[in-house]
Structure 1
Amino acid sequence: MGRIILYVVLAVLVIAVIIKFFYLLVAAVLGYWAYKQYRKNKEAGRRQTFTYVISAFVGLFLIFFLVSLSSEPANSPEQVAVVETKEEMKTQTVTTSEAAEVVVVATSKKSESADITTKENQEQNNRLPATLVEVTDGDTLKVKVDGKEEKVRLLLIDTPETVHPEKEEQPFGKDASNFVKKQVAKGNISLELDVSERDKYGRLLAYVWIGDKMLNEQLLEYGLARIAYIYPPNTKYVDQFEEIQEHARKEAKGIWSIENYVQDNGFVEPKPETTEPVVITKTPRVEEKVEVKVKEEPAVANVYYKNCDAVRAAGADPIYKGEPGYSRKLDRDGDGIGCER
């Protein structure tokens, strides 16, 4: 029984060697045959033509053997992928299919990142570089675009008037104008146009960017403007503008700090409270004039903020000139807006 097992093992080994080195074994057998033929023909004085043919086959099978070696996969079925985490570097052994999944996920993330970057680059490429000429008021300014002077109206917003020929300066109008002057002084101005580029007055309608910040949004954020003049198709940012305005309204910033000041048709300043003479008749023959004062709201208590941290803690930032608690030390640049973020 033991011999049978030994013969089986030897047979398996021989078969494995034959399969693995088949071309080499054939080349060896043909080579030995060619050698014997060469010696035999030489002794008999015959030509060696047949010997050369056999030698050619020897060379051919050697080539087949070398090709079979080079075609074997160089890598093992398992590959090592290095997974990097924020905490540490871990080396894990994963199968080829798992490694492929990792590569696909990484490629997908890179693709998404590339798409976002491409979209941002396209939006920036659609902006027109501009040079400031003059700030007219909070929602209008003059710039130079491609060497041509243009009057620009900020899209989707309206600020209180400061230079209107038929209206007096409105509350927070000067604040809005000063804020715009301060922002555009930083330079790097660009204009993003919507679908319709001009209004009926020939002004450019634009979202004005100062670097990577939009001036339209900032005015709404600080309560220096309201959403207005929503005329399709120029509605690209109207949804996010409404969210920003609602936040400023809830915090009673700027224009939202005056009750009923912001109306659908613009800004309506409350009329000052006055005293009115009232005639009271005591008798048919005697009349007296009595002054009755209209009920006034209680005066605002003195408010004092030690520093801007105190202003922010009270939720009053930014604080504007004329508001309770405003002081010059909170407004270092003197533009009327203290504790700006």
Structure 2
Amino acid sequence: MKKIFFALVFSALVLSACTGETSTNIIETENIESLVSSTKENAEKYDVSKFEEYELQDIIDGDTIRIKYNGSSEKVRLLLVDTPETNHETLGEQPYGPEAKEFAKQLLAGQDSVYLEFDVSYRDKYKRLLAYVYTKDGISIQEQLLKNGLARVAYIYEPNTKHVDWFNSIQKTAQNSATGIWSVEDYVTNRGYDKEVYYAATKESNDASSTENDKSNTANDNNSCVIKGNINSKGNKIYHTPGQRDYENTVAEEMFCTKEEAEAAGFIPAKQ
């Protein structure tokens, strides 16, 4: 794999791919609050005056909410985006699913209503409402999920394609930055998400990190063992410590960390 999140300060903690090594860019749940705060402050606000306002009842997951619609409680599926699952009956929980849900939840926290922009067709085959969802101050939920690597553009079915070009351009930026779901190559597929690929990449990254740490620790240990043990032409075992006259010119047969260690191996100290 050429590249493998995480972490942003949600969107900011991004790791780019490195040739020859893998790393996992993980979105940390505890950073969502900071991300949402930044989003609310910096996101583009759209005019929602022409859209329809409905009572918000619940956040089901990253791409599905529940509203009160014409007196009934109904699910709304966010058009043209797909977030990883949080509790699917067959797929279970997928990486970035809980983060996507928490992001949407916090972005809509404290709001008793949302604005819905409908396309041509109002419902899908499961009878769910289909819409582009905005906060009361005009932030597009779909745009921010895509921007922060928490959703992919998906389920593009005519005639509901009004914002597909817009969404694809946002997704492209997230892909190029290896943000969120895009930080693990091949985790996102045309069919959804492959968590086995994600976990394999994570394991590979952790194993590589552990190996590097072991090498570093070994190097540090070796660097601290600077006493040179040499056997001279007469067969005498002599050890030399830094600062002694012949230390730099001495070829070490063995290296020791302490004088006691050298003497225990049968070496005696050099006279100069």
TM-score by length of structure 1 reads 0.44
Residue of structure 2 in register with 1:167 after alignment: 91
Deviations 1:109-163 (A, max 9, x none): xxxxxxxxxxx87x632x2211111111111111113432111000000000012
Which of residues 63, 71, 83 in structure 2 aligns to 1:147?
Answer: 71
Residue 189 (str. 1) matches residue 99 (str. 2): no
Larger Rg: 1
- The residue type paired with residue 161 of structure 1 is E
Question: Would the alpha carbon gap of residues 175 and 272 (structure 1) be closer, same or farther in structure 2, given more than 3 Å must change?
Answer: closer
**Matches of 2:148 and 2:205 in 1, distance apart?**
32
* Pairing of 1:14-163 with structure 2 (within 5 A): 124-125=49-50, 127-163=51-87
Higher helix share: 1
Residue 263 (str. 1) matches residue 189 (str. 2): yes
* Pairing of 1:160-309 with structure 2 (within 5 A): 160-187=84-111, 188-210=113-135, 211-269=137-195, 270=197, 298-299=208-209
RMSD (Å), alpha carbons: 2.6
Question: Would the alpha carbon gap of residues 169 and 296 (structure 1) be closer, same or farther in structure 2, given more than 3 Å must change?
Answer: closer
Residue identity (%): 47
**Matches of 1:222 and 1:295 in 2, distance apart?**
22
Residue of structure 1 in register with 2:11 after alignment: none
- The residue type paired with residue 132 of structure 2 is Y
**Matches of 1:215 and 1:255 in 2, distance apart?**
17
**Matches of 1:271 and 1:248 in 2, distance apart?**
17
**Matches of 2:81 and 2:145 in 1, distance apart?**
8
**Matches of 2:98 and 2:52 in 1, distance apart?**
27
The answer as to whether partners of 1:128 and 1:145 remain within 8 angstroms in 2 is no
- The residue type paired with residue 298 of structure 1 is A
**Matches of 1:146 and 1:203 in 2, distance apart?**
14
| Large movers: runs of 4+ above 2 Å | 145-148, 294-297
TM-score by length of structure 2 reads 0.55
- The residue type paired with residue 207 of structure 1 is Y
Partner SS for 1:130: strand
Partner SS for 2:98: helix
Relative contact order, CA 8 A, sep 6+: which one is greater? 2
Unaligned runs of 5+ in 2: 1-45, 214-272
- The residue type paired with residue 133 of structure 2 is V
Partner SS for 1:235: coil
Deviations 1:232-264 (A, max 9, x none): 110111001011000011111110111210001
**Matches of 2:198 and 2:106 in 1, distance apart?**
31
- The residue type paired with residue 86 of structure 2 is T
Deviations 1:76-124 (A, max 9, x none): xxxxxxxxxxxxxxxxxxxxxxxxxxxxxxxxxxxxxxxxxxxx87x63
- The residue type paired with residue 200 of structure 1 is K
- The residue type paired with residue 208 of structure 2 is P
**How far is the alpha carbon of 1:224 from its aligned partner?**
0.2
Partner SS for 2:119: strand
Partner SS for 1:136: strand
